[in-house]
Amino acid sequence: MAEGTAGEAPGLAFAFAPLNADALFGADDLMQIDRLCRVVAPQVLRRLDDEAARQALGETEILVTGWGCPPIDARVLAAAPRLKLIAHAAGSVRALVSQAVFDRGIAVVSAADANALPVAEYTVAAILFANKGVLNFAARYRRERRSLGIHVNTGERVGNFGKTIGLVGASRIGRRVAQLLRPFDFTVLVADPFFSPTAARGLGVEWVELDELLKRSDVVSLHAPSLPETRHMIDRRRLGLMRDGTTLVNTARGALVEQDALIEELASGRLNAVLDVTEPDVLPADSPLYELPNVLLTPHVAGAAGGELKRFGALITAEIDRFVRGEALRHAVDPATFNFQA
């Protein structure tokens, strides 16, 4: 059991902004944390560099972080000599922790698995709508306001039977999407240089090179991390490989796509897109992406929102329980790979 001095319950502090703890944790989870730990700061810490934070950090063995938490840098670590666990009630910790955290032997857990599910659900909904031609049919129906003869005049491209779905990146979210697609009559392809054909077969998908995936897919969905090596990986040449009528779904990062080239393809009507992320995240007011009828543009809502945030708290509470009891953590972040996680 992880305990404080002289058998005390371990000291715990919350650090994130602008949410309060009850936005992420249900009442039962907060009660469980109170039973397991000694909460050392009455309020959520919004900063980690003022006197109140320094006093709290001096007693903190478990730091529960979330969106808006400042980076855990050398100064924060120096103020937190007893820190043993960073429990991140959100997804990626790439911008939060550095190698110095791991070098000091501090365990890090993340609720990324809890965030993967709503993103995967959004993606599956986008795939199903894309194959049904919902964007184009909705735009035509709004414009023409008459029967469109859907059942006799749509051709073989419309519908979800027998379609090919390409997943770019076998990330946590990419793998979850593949699992959710199993009940459908799809061929699912995956392109990821760090994912083997054997692993792909185990997931029930077909491993292919990226260019082949783009040529074969009816819907291409992006699930790769944003790294210097992946910036504009879907560039003008690769967009040109996609067949007429293909839909690009991006719930990962806008930087993966050469956006100006994508806008040209979308404006021509050759491709369609469902974009939850763009570059920049908030587009200028005059961006054509707001108006193009073959684009569904959403403001980065695929991840956990509203009541879904309570999944973060439930996962983190369970991890704190395991940590206090001295049990193995189920959502520990691997220091060797955390910089590459989508």
Q: Which residues are annotated as catalytic?
A: 253, 279, 300
Cis peptide before 18 (omega within 30 of 0): yes
First to last CA, the chain: 32
Burial (CB count within 10 angstroms: exposed 0-12, middle 13-18, buried 19+), residue 291: exposed
Residues 6+ apart with CB under 8 A from 289: 263, 266, 275, 278, 283, 295, 297
Q: What share of the chain is helix, strand, coil (3-state, %, to 5)?
A: 40, 15, 45
How many residues are there in the chain? 342
Residue indicated by tokens 């770019």: 168
Q: Name 107's bridge partners.
A: 85
DSSP reduced 3-state for 45: strand
